[in-house]
Amino acid sequence: MIRYALTCAEGHSFESWFQSATAFDTLQARGLVACAICGNSTVEKALMAPSVAARTETGAALRDQNSPQEQALAALRREIEAKSEYVGTEFATEARRMHEGEAPERAIHGEAKPDEARRLIEDGVPVLPLPFLPGRKTN
């Protein structure tokens, strides 16, 4: 895993984790890296100092503490997951159904491709990008 400091075209700064440098490049080229603050997908890497673990007198590495931003993001994620329904890749369909009165109004979160999200916004469906990827259940 690799953490990058990022900036968007609107000047917002944020950080995000990626599987690898290649994974970041691939996601960025596909327009799938978006600003955690405004959702702008014109995102670039910012200068970032390397993270080096401090060592105790015995030579054991100290565990890095989460930054206030990481703690706030984790709290936001817990809140969203506790108070909304995860609808997975059916997010765009379910959001549109709710907007058109075909499904009951409720808080939902899930996954949408950039073009699906863009169409929802253009059609007046109130949606926002989340600054994290959904957790996946594994067997």
Query: Domain ranges in the chain?
Result: 2-45, 68-122
Which tokens is 95 given?
């959001």
The one-letter code for the residue type at 34 is A
> Predicted confidence band at 103 (pLDDT cuts at 50, 70, 90)?
very high
Using the predicted structure, report yes or no on whether residue 60 has a pLDDT greater than 70.
no
User: CB of 4 within 8 A of CB of 15?
Assistant: yes
> Whole-model pTM?
0.51
CB neighbourhood size of 121 (10 A): 14
DSSP, collapsed to helix, strand or coil, labels residue 130 as coil
CA separation for the pair 129, 109 (Å, rounded): 9
Least confident of 40-44, 71-75, 102-106, 109-113: 71-75
Q: What is the mean pLDDT of residues 62-72?
A: 71
Please give the mean pLDDT across all residues of the chain.
Answer: 83
The three-state secondary structure class of 114 is helix
